[in-house]
Structure 1
Amino acid sequence: MRRLLALPAIALCWAVLGPTHVTDVPAPLPIHSGRWPDGRALEIVGDLAAARTVVVLVPGVDTTAANFDTGLGGVQRRAPAWQARQLAAAIGRPDVVVIAWLGYEPPEGVRLAAVREDRAAAGALALRAFVARLPGDRIVLVGHSYGSTVVGLAAPRLDRRVTDLVALGSPGMGADRAADLHTTARVWAGSAASDWTRRLPGLRILGAGHGTHPADPAFGALALPVDGVEGHDGYFVTGTPTLGALAGLARGES
């Protein structure tokens, strides 16, 4: 009887700590702005045909096609489409295009799916395929929150045009060190002092957790300025040093 009672506990531990499983990888998104019934969305800011550099923003937990333009809870700074427009305006160059990419299914809330990397692993495969189809000479990937986990897992075997990977408000990129991402791209990170992800443990045990916080000096990423950024969603607000640094990076000034 005791063995039977122990089975649910064993099953629960395996669900949390078992190996990561790649869920179904979505079919490739068409490369044009749109919102799709399956919850995916894309916003292209600029003329993709004229792009020399393409910046791709990858959002995190609770992002859906329904709140892609308005932001979770109606908070505009949380909206990926708004973030893309903010960055494009700060860059101010017609040969740099910014894309907000929701080509995967993020976890709903900070629950088991957010602690594990199954959704991120599927997203990483979809992101690699999307990036390979982009025009331009140079590509920069910017992951916010769980989106940075997607970027981290996608890092190995990315298109060689990817020069920079950026993690903002990251719970982890699925690695303990930047070197473990196995990429020739530069790795950047920024996390505001008031960002709640700083309170998450920087661990990765089997399928749970996402590794060392990229903003931790021990990770080895290049630091982005975050002074004055408020909370988890303030990185694209006008006037913040993070937005300015991202714009400079996109223009090739860093």
Structure 2
Amino acid sequence: MVWKAQCEALRDELKGLQTLQDRLNKPVTDRDPQPFLLRLDAAAPGGRAILALNDPDTADHVATFVPGTESRLGGVGGTMDKSKEMYRSAVQTNPGSKVSTIAYVNYAAPQSARPGFAQPVPDAAYEGYAKDAEQDLYNSQTGLRATHQGSPSHNTIIGHSYGSTVVGYAMRDKGLPVDSVIFAGSPGVGVEKAGDLNVDLAKGTKMDPSKVYAVLGGQDTITDWTPGLDADNLNPLSDDYHLRYGRDPMNPAFGAQRLPTQDTDHDHYWNEKTPSWKAFGQVIAGKPVT
């Protein structure tokens, strides 16, 4: 059984490596911009990869996408696809600027219990994955600032599902030098309100709540996923309610700006036909959300 599991893990990582290779070999077009492989570590548990579309060091607008549960090297294709959709949306919003979006598969994500999956002790019920990811995410975001050429870029970070918890924890405990943040389908981000998120922890600089955005689709069941909490703690009909990792970013008391969406499920905020697709691009491009 151990041998079988190891073989399956290796096949999965080989699939991810092939996906990266195919993308790097793809001809550069307006629809498929130049890729930059910023990190690759197949030896790390689950594998690690960071891939940018366009050079973030020279871009006007830079967005980093942090995926959630079940993200790993073997599934890097899905993360890259979402990153590409946000690139397309941002370019459509602001055709005259240079945009770079980054697929960040660079932490040991929980590999079980996505919303709707019944498991007694799901991996995503533990905050340790988020806490272990803080330093690398901090390093990557401060690195983007340090290596950028010319005027500072407008930087956005997007966390999806458990990835939003990773982003929130890093902002709370380390501070991330970003201009805006989006939480999509979030189980909580480790703080009670948007103003508790830090940009520069050393200087005590807080995130501007008007630049904190949240989105939740009508068919996203993440708010039903609260393992370890009493059912009374999840009551969206009350004025104040909490999820697994703190107050729901969609809760008015949290203070985030809500992005438009439809009856989207947990994984399809990046469908071009949804209002969230357009809104992501507007935030990344530094434009008002319409």
Distance change in 2, residues 1:84/1:103 (3 Å) = same
Aligned counterpart, 2:131: 121
Percent of residue pairs identical: 27
**Displacement after TM superposition at 1:33 (Å):** 4.6
Q: 1:197 aligns with which of 197, 222, 245?
A: 222
Alignment of 1:181-220 (within 5 A): 181-182=197-198, 183-185=206-208, 186-201=211-226, 209-220=244-255
Q: Count residues with an aligned counterpart.
A: 211
Question: Within 5 Å, which residues of 2 pair with 1:22-41?
Answer: 32-33=37-38, 35-37=40-42, 38=44, 39-41=47-49
CA distance in 2, matches of 1:133, 1:204: 37
Aligned counterpart, 1:47? 55
Counterpart amino acid of 2:250? Answer: A
Q: Measure the CA separation in 1 of the matches of 2:71 and 2:154.
A: 26
Which of 76, 90, 100 is residue 68 of structure 1 equivalent to?
Answer: 76
Q: TM-score when scaled to structure 2?
A: 0.67
1:99-110 matches, cutoff 5 A: 99-110=102-113
Gaps of 5+ in 2: 1-35, 114-120, 199-205, 231-242
When the two chains are superposed, the root-mean-square deviation of aligned CA atoms in Å is 2.3
Asked if the contact 2:66/2:160 (under 8 Å) is kept, the reply is: yes
Query: Shift of residue 177 of structure 1?
Result: 2.0
Distance 1:96 1:194, change over 3 A: same
The alignment's TM-score, normalised by the length of structure 1, stands at 0.76
Contact 1:202 1:212 in 2 (8 A): no
Structure 1 match to 2:164:
148
Q: Which has the higher contact order (CA 8 A, sep 6+)?
A: 1
* Structure 2 counterpart of 1:241, from 250, 258, 275: 275
Measured at CA, do residues 219 and 106 of structure 1 come closer, stay the same or move farther in structure 2, by a change above 3 Å?
same
Please say if 1:98 is aligned against 2:123.
no
Q: Is residue 197–residue 207 contact of structure 2 (8 Å, CA) maintained in 1?
A: no
* Residues 44 and 100, structure 1, Cα contact 8 Å, conserved in 2: yes
SS of equivalent to 1:114: helix
Query: Is the 2:165–2:186 contact (alpha carbons within 8 Å) kept by the matching residues of 1?
Result: yes
Displacement of 1:112 after TM fit?
4.1
Superposed CA deviations along residues 60-116 of structure 1, whole A, max 9, x for unmatched, are: 0011101111xxxxxxxxx11000111111111452100010111101112443112
Write the distance in 2 (CA, Å) between the matches of 1:150 and 1:212.
Answer: 15
Instruction: After superposition, give the CA deviation of every residue in 1:8-30 in whole Å (9 maximum; x if it has no partner).
Output: xxxxxxxxxxxxxxxxxxxxxxx
Letter in 1 for 2:175: L
Structure 1 gap segments, 5+ residues each: 1-30, 70-78
CA distance in 2, matches of 1:247, 1:184: 20
Which residue does 2:194 correspond to in 1?
178
